[in-house]
Amino acid sequence: MSFLPQLIFLIIFGAAAWFLSKRVKFLRRNILLGKSETRNDQPDERWKTMLLVAFGQQKMFKRIIPAILHLFVYVGFIIINLEVLEFVLDGILGTHRLFAPFLGSFYVAAMNFFEFLAVAVLFSCIVFLIRRNILKVERFTKPEMQGWPALDGNLILVIEIILMLAILTMNATDQILADRGVSHYLAFGGLAFSGIIQPLFETMSDATLIFIERFAWWFHIVGILAFAVYVTYSKHLHIFLAFPNTWYSNLKPKGEMSNMPEVTNEVNMMLGIPSETPSDPPSEIARFGAKDINDLSWINVLNAYSCTECGRCTSECPANLTGKKLSPRKIMMDVRDRAEEVGKSLDAGGKGLEDGKSLLGDYISQEEINACTSCNACVEACPVNIDPLSIILQMRRYVAMEESGSPAQWNAMFQNMETSFSPWKFSPSDRFNWAEKVKEEEMK
């Protein structure tokens, strides 16, 4: 018995594992470029959120048709990978259909279920390709989706289609060879879906069928390993990051904005209100708000890497719907792209964050962040609980407090709130004059 196939498999498997581990370390370092933040409160609520939103796909079902199709792909990805476990063990041990003799009729039922999912994934991916490229759903045609994002979305769908076809082809040729009694091939009963395409191969010789079956097996397992590495460069990284991302969701009410503790303490001191930590000396503030990714929290950067680029946030954004330049999806893509740029620079011995560029200005413009209405529609729409608004507010805080670059109308409003305690320029003592006028009108 030749051990060459096993050796080749182990080399490919080891290479994939090495590339994957290297990429995971790169991503982890990039995410941790953000500032420290702790979100481990309410663990029961966090588990519930993760199970419902990430595992249960709860928010996807706001749009029922794409939700069902995505569910097929999602469940297929999870369940079919159980079959990949058999592939891996067969590759390592040099066996064929390792589990078949032990599981009997259950194995046949499982294989039929796997094939059903493969066909469901195949159908769903074809529909998604049609939606993207023929029907041209508007949220997939926005400016930020040109070039690599569009190619990435199509490429992953084509890869999934080919991998599902490889499974069906492998099973069809495998069972023909088993029925003919060829070497180690096992006849374990009829397979409903691959059986449909068996007539395509019936007239082929044993040698040709063995070649096709082995090619399909190798293509599928190598494709899965390559896919695992490719995903870390793709928007489909959300397959894995959706779970930690939903765990670290912001559980506060969506209308609540976080204050800077340092500023809050200063205001309290000016008003004579005791600070929560009076014994601690005032901490030095490096920067108000966020200009670059290191000013954001690591959870913000994790959000960016978890982005599915589905565009639901942008399709719900009132600023974008009225023709403004703001796209919440682009905000997240820009944060991820900046993290990638800084990470690659650091790996190459470059300047990293000191390269003369910044997230605000070189990637995201003031026009974009000023268009935001702070309505939280993007946060509510995101299927994996990403929070673009948090990033936008931190950048607006930087522009206002560090650069004094807010629009003139905003600065006037800020001044009125400081002096008159309202957005309008009139004395607080006159605030209820309108009520007196109403009373006078009622008395007439």
Enumerate the domain spans of the chain.
4-31+63-247, 285-406
Residue 2: which pLDDT band, with cuts at 50, 70 and 90? low
Its CATH class, for the domain covering 285-406, is mainly alpha
Instruction: Count the helix, strand and coil residues of the chain and give each as a percent rounded to the nearest 5.
Output: 70, 0, 30
pTM of the model: 0.89
Euclidean distance between CA atoms 228 and 222, whole angstroms: 10
The conformational region for residue 85 under phi > 0 = left, psi -120 to 50 = alpha, else beta, is alpha
Q: What is the mean pLDDT of the chain?
A: 90
Residue 1: which pLDDT band, with cuts at 50, 70 and 90? very low
* Residue 85 pLDDT: 84
Q: Widest CA span of the chain, in angstroms?
A: 107
Q: What is the DSSP string of 220-267?
A: HHHHHHHHHHHHTTSGGGHHHHHHHHHHT---S-TTPPPPPHHHHHHH
Euclidean distance between CA atoms 253 and 257, whole angstroms: 9
* Residue 290 pLDDT: 95
Strand-pairing partners, residue 360, are 364
Euclidean distance between CA atoms 61 and 70, whole angstroms: 10
* Residue 191 pLDDT: 86
* Residue 429 pLDDT: 78
CB 328 within 8 A of CB 313: yes
Euclidean distance between CA atoms 211 and 355, whole angstroms: 53
Q: Is the pLDDT of residue 279 over 70?
A: no
